[in-house]
Chain A
Amino acid sequence: MSWPTLLYKVSGVWGNHEGSMLLWALILALFGAAVAIFGVHLPDSLRARVLAIQALIGVGFLAFLLFTSNPFERVALPPPDGNGLNPLLQDPGLAFHPPLLYLGYVGFSVTYAFAIAALLEGRVDAAWARWVRPWTLAAWCFLTCGIALGSWWAYYILGWGGFWFWDPVENASLMPWLVGTALLHSAIVVEKRGALQSWTVLLAILAFSLSLLGTFLVRSGVLTSVHAFAQDPARGMFILAFLLIVTGGGLALYAWRAPQLANQSYGGGGLFQPISREGALVLNNLLLCTLALTVLLGTLYPLFLDLLTGAKVSVGPPFFNATFVPICAPLFAAMCVGPFLGWKRAEIWPALATLRTALAIAVIAALVAAFAIDGRSTLAAVAFGFAIWVIVGTLLEFAGRLRLFRTPLSDSWRRLKATPRASLGMTIAHASLGFIVLGCVGTGAWNHELIKTMKLGDSASIAGFEVKLDRMDALRGPNYVAERATLVVTAGGSPFTVMAPERRLFLVQRRQIAETAINTNLMRDLYATLGEGDAVNGWVIRLYYNPLAPWIWLGAAMCAFGGFVSLSDRRLRVGAPQRSRTAAQPAE
């Protein structure tokens, strides 16, 4: 059996509703085991509670599997070759997309368990924040990879160059990511300054709740989506009940016990001025949670409106472009400034003075984008400027940390080796966000598109390339028949590359999938799709020139890498700090 076929036989397990729930339960169990193994330095009572809650969640999922989604139920008349995996999923990108996503969703179940355990114990302190951090980081990194992989897959399989559609299922993965990012940042304040305890606990509960909400939306049939698995109200009721128990229980416990958390103080009382590192992190949380709320509102609005008035609307890119994108602006603006601010109380002007170079470069970049690169969209030029601001500002902060060019290089090198990996991770992750936005701007606003019906021998030109349809072949794959076009691409007369887009018809399911041909030099994508047609009338060929498209996914991979670097930080590996002297040790 060939390797790809084996991969799809394995990934076929989770290519449907029941199997994907089985995968969820497996990852839940694995994370519980990881907490048991790696959490040996946790206090016994906390570890016991965390494992108990993790197990309770597992019971819920296993019950769901048993009673409504049994993957082992016998099919009455099993087809001899099986049903075959949905052709859309016969793809390496999509084979790994669910496991990575679930590692993210389920990872947040561990932070949820920690939050509930903290509420039960009645104590949230710096040690708790430090214990929670690696699990939050791990979940966040995997979720970033899962979302990016899904977006990349959509880009190269759907055939028209889009990579994010604000589909309910995409939004369902974005919401926990946004709240998870907020959680990562607010946990820093809990760890370093002993403030924002009850808020951080709330975020931990909400991150996992949004993961569950996503599961509910996709599998219950309340929303239509290209991704939606099952349209089964009975299953929907079960998941809803589960969601109510987990989220409702968690939030009820929060409402009851969180006020006591606010009364605890340690490490200085946790007061801070608005202009301070804590203030910047609060602003970060505010903006990220507003973004998450916006996405939630946009996703659920059609449902609410339909129930209340019977009117059918769809909420898509126009809404999100008008709301989500502008809110990102203050977030990006503040992202560079925050790391310069000191704890408790800081001056804003010294920070801004250091960043004035970044501001100048960003403004020049925006002007260059508007007037020299592509003037079609002012918003794109502004976003370009913001992205450059983030990249340059983050690098300037890093250079300042190393005292680059102000002390001998050997001194900078020494400082680099002494920089905590958490700071390195932050720099990498923040700068990557800038690269992602650059990619989005390039592909979204500055792309070239050409749709042409071409007969054999016809040529088309796009973005300085000449594309000639040289030949058409019919071919057979292991489970499909296909038509393949050979497109000879020349640039300025000299041969550049040959692209071979295909249109595959999968025999078992009778579905057609386009295999796009993408030529990339990591700075831009040249993208070709083959549509319907025949020799007499010609075939529909779609050509796209997408500048900076690879930076979206390279940026996302770098972002996750930054998270992993932060995960390897020494303070997360050497164990918990001593409990602060002001908190009394409980008699257990």
Chain B
Amino acid sequence: MINSNRLLYFLPLLTLAIMAGFFAWSLSSGRDPAAIGSVLVGRPAPALAAAALQEGAPPLTDALLKTGKPVLLNFFASWCAPCQIEHPLLLRLAERDGVAIIGIAYKNKPEEARAWLKRLGNPFKQTGIDPEGKLALDWGLSGVPETYLIDGAGIVRLHYRAPLSERDLATILPLLRGGS
């Protein structure tokens, strides 16, 4: 005998089914609850204005991001251990794949950043310095290393908040080769 009163007894089971559906969906979707995402992706890149790391070289400007070709922007520091780990990957990207990478030394003494690059190799087409972190504020930096991929039209397409890994190359390279 199914009447409305009896159906009420099924309510807890129904609630459980809905909740379980969400849980199963969450587990199978591979989502990372700790991932924050980036507000910059899909938006025009923030302004780029930094002094050059090399003494006497011209300062870095927005023109570098609007060449019509995609470019990587990498924030690093000589005191940052994970930056050292991702460095060989950046070198490979620059030398083997011909990727244009702009490097910004974040909260670093210029001589220490220069010495670090001299010791490990310099993958950067242009290198700037952000000694007080003002540029980093504009770019929403949460630490170093962070890497941004800006396409030829000046839109931020990717924002990595961790050292680049081999896995990330699969996403980066097609965008770099495909142009804007």
Query: A residues within 8 Å of B by Cβ?
Result: 198, 202, 205-206, 209, 216, 220-224, 233, 236-237, 240, 243-244, 247-248, 251-252, 254-255, 258-259, 300, 302-304, 306-307, 312
Say whether A243 contacts B33, CB under 8 Å. Answer: no
Does B26 sit at the interface, judged by CB under 8 A? yes
Chain A residue, CB-CB nearest to B18: A304
Does B171 sit at the interface, judged by CB under 8 A? no
Say whether A312 contacts B13, CB under 8 Å. Answer: no
Say whether A255 contacts B27, CB under 8 Å. Answer: no
Say whether B33 contacts A251, CB under 8 Å. Answer: no
The one of A243, A255, A304, A312 that contacts B22, using a Cβ cutoff of 8 Å: A304
The one of A240, A248, A251, A259 that contacts B23, using a Cβ cutoff of 8 Å: A240
Say whether A216 contacts B23, CB under 8 Å. Answer: yes
Say whether B22 contacts A254, CB under 8 Å. Answer: no
Does B142 sit at the interface, judged by CB under 8 A? no
How far, in angstroms, from A247 to B17 measured CA to CA in the complex? 10
Say whether A258 contacts B23, CB under 8 Å. Answer: no
Interface string of B1-41 (1 = CB under 8 A from A): 00001100110110011011011111111110111110000
A120 shortest CB reach to chain B, Å: 16
Chain A residue contacts of B35, Cβ below 8 A: 312
Say whether B30 contacts A233, CB under 8 Å. Answer: yes
Main secondary structure of the interface of A (DSSP, over half): helix
Chain B residue, CB-CB nearest to A220: B27
How far, in angstroms, from A255 to B13 measured CA to CA in the complex? 8
Say whether A303 contacts B33, CB under 8 Å. Answer: yes
Say whether B9 contacts A255, CB under 8 Å. Answer: yes
Chain A residue contacts of B6, Cβ below 8 A: 259
Chain B residue contacts of A304, Cβ below 8 A: 22
Say whether A243 contacts B27, CB under 8 Å. Answer: no
Give the 5 A-B CB pairs with smallest separation, nearest first: A251-B13, A255-B10, A255-B9, A224-B34, A224-B33
Chain A residue, CB-CB nearest to B17: A248
Q: A224-B34, A303-B33 are in contact. Are A251 and B16 (CB under 8 A)?
A: yes
How far, in angstroms, from A243 to B35 measured CA to CA in the complex? 26
The one of B9, B12, B20 that contacts A240, using a Cβ cutoff of 8 Å: B20
How far, in angstroms, from A202 to B28 measured CA to CA in the complex? 30
Say whether A206 contacts B20, CB under 8 Å. Answer: no
How far, in angstroms, from A254 to B34 measured CA to CA in the complex? 37
Say whether B28 contacts A233, CB under 8 Å. Answer: yes
Q: A220-B27, A312-B37 are in contact. Are A303 and B22 (CB under 8 A)?
A: yes
How far, in angstroms, from A192 to B166 measured CA to CA in the complex? 68
Say whether A307 contacts B26, CB under 8 Å. Answer: yes
Chain A residue contacts of B27, Cβ below 8 A: 220-222, 233, 236-237, 240
Chain B residue, CB-CB nearest to A233: B27
Say whether B16 contacts A248, CB under 8 Å. Answer: yes
The one of A198, A221, A255 that contacts B33, using a Cβ cutoff of 8 Å: A221
Say whether A303 contacts B26, CB under 8 Å. Answer: yes
